[in-house]
Chains A and B, each alone.
Chain A
């Protein structure tokens, strides 16, 4: 099983549509979860952190299901500018050292058309 798994897409949606992305992770010890956005040939930018209770930021809603090790991102009222790759990111504690690193999914590509 991949450490962090996402559907690569692309998801082609019209402006105004609602689209949802899913992500699963394999490390049950992970404590922090994020969604990043990456535009073509650019660095990733933090979109939002994901909290256990779920959280919303404008048109974006993130949900976390620890039992199923599943994270989701919902985008409402899609804009052309939302076209990008959305990366699911999970912190990865090392069992013995406590050292943590971030593990990135391969990303889900979103294309919003007029």
Chain B
């Protein structure tokens, strides 16, 4: 199946610093990538939808100036957490939608998830 990678897998940083997380689709082109956040014992919450070559669409309550998303190519999207604070500590997961899955139809909802990035802000 399709593979999505994330880097780094884990990051610990001081409060006030910025952290960049990369999400790559390794064997398919992803015009759309999604960024989720998961706090302990809670479900995945969609933060934003990233479309290649255009601005990201943020969910209600997610600050676009704090969580900067760049989707410059069909295989790479980045999430930058600016001026991170301890309350930003969470598990950040990206996913990518395979626009043309084999045997499937264009625009299906199959999303492939990256392994996640665990962010700890001290």
Identify the A interface with B (CB < 8 A). Answer: 32, 34, 41-46, 87, 91, 99-107
Contact = CB atoms under 8 A, between A and B. Distances in A.
Contacts of B115: 42-43
B18 interface: no
19 contacts: A32-B109, A41-B91, A41-B118, A43-B93, A43-B114, A43-B115, A43-B116, A44-B44, A44-B93, A45-B113, A46-B110, A87-B43, A101-B49, A102-B46, A102-B109, A102-B111, A104-B43, A106-B42, A106-B43
Nearest to B93: A43
Q: Which label, helix, strand, loop or mixed, suits the secondary structure of the A interface?
A: strand
Nearest to A94: B57
Nearest to A36: B113
Contacts of A44: 44, 93, 113
B91 A100 contact: no
Interface in B73-102: 91, 93
Please give me the 9 A-B residue pairs with the lowest Cβ-Cβ distance, nearest first.
A43-B113, A106-B43, A104-B44, A104-B43, A32-B109, A43-B116, A91-B109, A43-B115, A43-B93
A33 to B, nearest CB: 9
Nearest to B107: A100
B43 A105 contact: yes
B34 interface: yes
Contacts of A91: 109
